[in-house]
Structure 1
Amino acid sequence: MQKLLLTLAVLASLPFATGCVPLAAVGAGTAAVMADDRRTAGVYIEDENIEWKAVGKLNAYKEAHVNATSYNRKVLLTGEAADEATKTKIGEDVRKIEQVLDVANELKIGYTSSLTSRGGDAVTTTNVKARMLNNGKFSTNHIKVVTEAGTVYLMGLVTQAEGDAAAEVARTTSGVKGVVKVFEYIK
């Protein structure tokens, strides 16, 4: 009920938003995704806030390349850190962000990845998401896909069967070197 009310409120406010058609289209799309999300509207918004706060903290680490992805207040850190001490410090800093419940620190130790490598990861993410569409075993709105150095990380609130099906789709996608499940399982 809460999701429905939020969706209706967002849709009702769109005609009053400045920015015309692009904002209205994005707003309606976000409302539609939120309506099918297993997170509450408040947690969905908090995840966005956590990611913005993480970006602010991560700007201090010029020698590292770090992505922070939040789902249900669990933060996945991917990318590269120069050494183990930096990796640990980044994880500790992100864990201190208000509302963060857990941190999955998947940072690799090494040199920062190239733009070419990151572009390839973006293509892999797109390919995995495309293969997940209309699969009949889970909703793509329940799965967040992140790719780093060819490894696909899967986040979401899913059943065991949904998580296994999503991992199988990712695992069998061209260009994927590995799959890491960072799911929260529901009954």
Structure 2
Amino acid sequence: MMKLPARPFSVTLLACVLAGAGLSACAPLMLGGAVVTGISAADRRTTGTQIEDERIETRGSARLREHLGERVHINITSYNRQVLLTGEVPSEQDKQLAEQVVSRIENVRSIINELTVLGHSTLTQRSSDALVTGRVKANLIDAKDVSTSAFKVVTERGITYLLGRVTLREADRATDLARRTSGVQKVVRLFEIITEEELLEMQSQSTSTGGQTPTPASGRPM
């Protein structure tokens, strides 16, 4: 889990260079004393929104530790300010408390609470989930008819969650690929569906700005 920086956030954006196979190679962002590695020029979120999602995850992890300590195992994933909570908690009360804690973080738009009232998953289970996530991502890359950078993949206890701003065609294709991946027991779709016209407009804007998704002049996410 990430540590909350002790000083205010300051942002230094370093270059992201597009690589082959629909992937992007990115230098890290510095947010105060923390290094943010998930910023990608090929991502369909604005740069500002990607930074905000990283910030939500960092603050959420710190506040969950503060309120719930080590008795829980919670993963927090933010995509376009929609927050997914996965993992295990010892009681229904802890599940609701975790949601309340995260809901108080600035700029969180919505929360999908997939926490399970169970004992902590084992290291073997977590390693298996990581392997499954890797296989799903590899299948998305191999397919070549979907943009891998448009998707975020999370796996918890064999359940694979798919997030992203994608068209219905892309959503259905990615879902099919994930369902046919070894180790996936269930696929949960958490997509924001856009039209083909919106996708073409995004691609046009990205091309005109040299691969960087425009950030509003106010600096706030679109």
What is the aligned-residue RMSD (CA, Å)?
2.2
In structure 1, the residue matched to 2:58 is 52
In structure 1, the residue matched to 2:27 is 27
Alignment partner of 1:11 is 2:35: no
Which SS does the other structure have where 2:27 is aligned? helix
Measured after TM superposition, the shift of residue 33 of structure 1 is 6.3
Measured after TM superposition, the shift of residue 138 of structure 1 is 1.8
Please say if residues 33 and 141 of structure 1, whose CA atoms lie closer than 8 Å, have aligned partners that are also in contact: no
Please say if residues 10 and 31 of structure 1, whose CA atoms lie closer than 8 Å, have aligned partners that are also in contact: no
The TM-score with structure 2 as length reference comes to 0.70
The TM-score with structure 1 as length reference comes to 0.83
The whole-number CA distance in structure 1 between the counterparts of 2:181 and 2:39 is 24
In structure 1, the residue matched to 2:78 is 70
Unaligned runs of 5+ in 2: 1-12, 17-24, 29-35, 196-222
Name the CA shift for 1:31/1:76 in 2 (closer, same or farther; >3 Å). Answer: closer
In structure 1, the residue matched to 2:147 is 139
Alignment partner of 1:106 is 2:119: no
The whole-number CA distance in structure 2 between the counterparts of 1:32 and 1:50 is 13
Q: Which has the higher strand share?
A: 2
Measured after TM superposition, the shift of residue 83 of structure 1 is 1.3
The whole-number CA distance in structure 1 between the counterparts of 2:71 and 2:15 is 42
Name the CA shift for 1:81/1:42 in 2 (closer, same or farther; >3 Å). Answer: same
Which SS does the other structure have where 2:153 is aligned? strand
Which SS does the other structure have where 2:160 is aligned? strand
Task: Count how many residue pairs are aligned between Structure 1 and Structure 2.
Answer: 167
Task: Return the letter of the residue paired with 2:131.
Answer: V
What stretches of structure 1 move > 6 A for 4+ residues in a row?
30-33
Task: Return the letter of the residue paired with 2:86.
Answer: T
Question: Identity over aligned residues, as a percent?
Answer: 44
Measured after TM superposition, the shift of residue 63 of structure 1 is 1.2
The whole-number CA distance in structure 1 between the counterparts of 2:26 and 2:48 is 19
Name the CA shift for 1:127/1:85 in 2 (closer, same or farther; >3 Å). Answer: same
Measured after TM superposition, the shift of residue 182 of structure 1 is 1.0
Please say if residues 158 and 185 of structure 2, whose CA atoms lie closer than 8 Å, have aligned partners that are also in contact: yes
In structure 2, the residue matched to 1:20 is none
Deviations for 1:92-123, whole angstroms, at most 9, x for unmatched residues? 11111001101110111111101110000000
Which SS does the other structure have where 1:10 is aligned? coil
Please say if residues 39 and 47 of structure 2, whose CA atoms lie closer than 8 Å, have aligned partners that are also in contact: no
Name the CA shift for 1:183/1:87 in 2 (closer, same or farther; >3 Å). Answer: same
Measured after TM superposition, the shift of residue 49 of structure 1 is 0.5
Which of 81, 91, 101 lines up with 1:83 in the alignment?
A: 91
In structure 2, the residue matched to 1:179 is 187
Which of 95, 100, 108 lines up with 1:92 in the alignment?
A: 100
